[in-house]
A and B are shown apart, each in its own frame.
Chain A
Amino acid sequence: MKIEILGTGCSKCKALEEATKQAVAQSGKFAQIEKVEDIMKIMEYGVMSTPGLVIDGKVVSTGKLLTINEIKELIQAH
């Protein structure tokens, strides 16, 4: 599984990255986490409100700082 956090460096983006790391650790799944800061790459996902969360190439959340539990649910649902 590959999880990407889309963000240009705002404080919410950093917080989402942190929450994602914890969610992955708690879910016990193996996932590669990557922070995407390149604006062109973010644009390719069609995301206009950061932070965005992408799981295996699919945008699952935009413009929101998710809680650890919410991210865990998204990982499980995937």
Chain B
Amino acid sequence: MWQESVNVLIYEWLKMPHGEKLSDALNFFIYDTVKILFLLTAIIFAITLLRSYFSTEKVRVYLSKKHEFTGNVLAALFGIITPFCSCSAIPLFLGFLQARIPLGVTFSYLISAPLNNEIAIAMLLTMFGWKVAALYIGFGLLVAIVGGIVIGRMELEKEVLIEVKPINGEITVDEQKIAFSVRLKDAKEYTQDILYKTWIYVLAGVGVGAFIHGYVPTEFIVRVAGADNIFAVPLATLLGVPMYSNAAGVMPLIEVLTSKGMLMGTALSFMMAITALSLPEAMILKRIMSLKLIAIFFGTVTLGIIGVGYLFNAIL
């Protein structure tokens, strides 16, 4: 229905000719940006509202009673439903260790939480549908669980530069009673805040996507990112690592690239590398972790993401 309205606008009101590159690109641009921004708003609002019922403080109490393996699985799962901001990575990391949560379990959370950020999930649902979103979350969990277990086994506790004093005795959380109307208001404000920060990236992403859509030949993309290039997955991953959580801008690009022949596993690796790892996060963590630990953390996750990309391309 929305596509028809855009068609009317472009071809009848603006009287632009059918089948020309410019009018098609403009049509695609208007259709996509409005659709994305609308769905993005709805999904982020829903996720934020849901997440207001889960706090990292409660998760910490729960995780502190779990053992290694179960702990890793649960930590990765909690990463999906708790709110996370890379600016809180340090207090969160130290807070987990303080509660005697093993280092590996803490890392499972630290990998899963940014990977499952609300913008990435909302964009995935909007652009690729629930199947790809579910695959992204599922494989993301796999990377977080296995990555956390691997790091946990390496006995790297001394690589944490700040001495963490464990809390003695039981850790309790004061249950804050928050009215539903307040939760609604908070979710609305948070959604507005995110939209305000990301709309420009959505526009830019769709704009470049529209350009690729109209002008870059499919053969080129197939050659670089398709099945013929066996190095496409590591290449996409390494490209994604330094990019900082601009899921809003990158997803529209990936949609166009996949529609033109980029393999889905390669696309998944690229998305995960963008969300899970970022240079600014490394700079923040540098204050409490040795370079060695950060390198192992980034290395493990990068390898995991590359593995997931190949695995996915092989299955499909």
Contact = CB atoms under 8 A, between A and B. Distances in A.
B95 A46 contact: yes
Contacts of B246: none
Interface in B51-67: 55-57, 60
B83 A63 contact: yes
Nearest to A6: B91
Given A62-B57, A63-B83, A64-B186, A48 B91 contact: yes
Tell me the interface secondary structure of chain B in the complex: helix
Nearest to B96: A48
Most buried by A among B55, B96, B171: B55
Given A43-B98, A62-B57, A49 B91 contact: yes
Contacts of A40: 162
Interface string A10-25: 1110000000000000
B171 A46 contact: yes
Most buried by B among A46, A48, A62: A48
A48 B162 contact: no
B299 to A, nearest CB: 25
B184 to A, nearest CB: 15
Nearest to A7: B87
Contacts of B164: 43
Interface size class of B (residues with CB under 8 A): 20 to 34
Contacts of A8: 87, 90-91
B92 interface: yes
Most buried by A among B57, B88, B94, B164: B88
Interface in B116-164: 162, 164
A53 interface: no
A42 B91 contact: yes
A46 B86 CA distance: 18
A72 B226 CA distance: 58
B91 A39 contact: yes
B171 A48 contact: no
B316 interface: no
Contacts of A12: 87
Nearest to B60: A48
Contact of B87 (A43, A50, A59): A50
Interface string B219-254: 000000000000000000000000000000000000
A64 B174 CA distance: 16
A47 interface: yes
A39 B88 contact: no
B315 interface: no
Interface string B76-103: 0000000101011011101110100000
B107 to A, nearest CB: 16
Contacts of A64: 186
Nearest to A43: B94
Given A39-B94, A47-B57, A49-B85, 20 more contacts: A8-B87, A8-B91, A10-B85, A11-B87, A39-B91, A39-B162, A39-B287, A42-B91, A43-B95, A43-B98, A43-B164, A46-B167, A46-B171, A47-B91, A48-B57, A48-B60, A48-B88, A48-B91, A49-B56, A49-B88
13 contacts: A39-B90, A40-B162, A43-B91, A46-B167, A46-B171, A48-B92, A48-B95, A49-B55, A49-B57, A49-B83, A49-B88, A49-B91, A62-B55
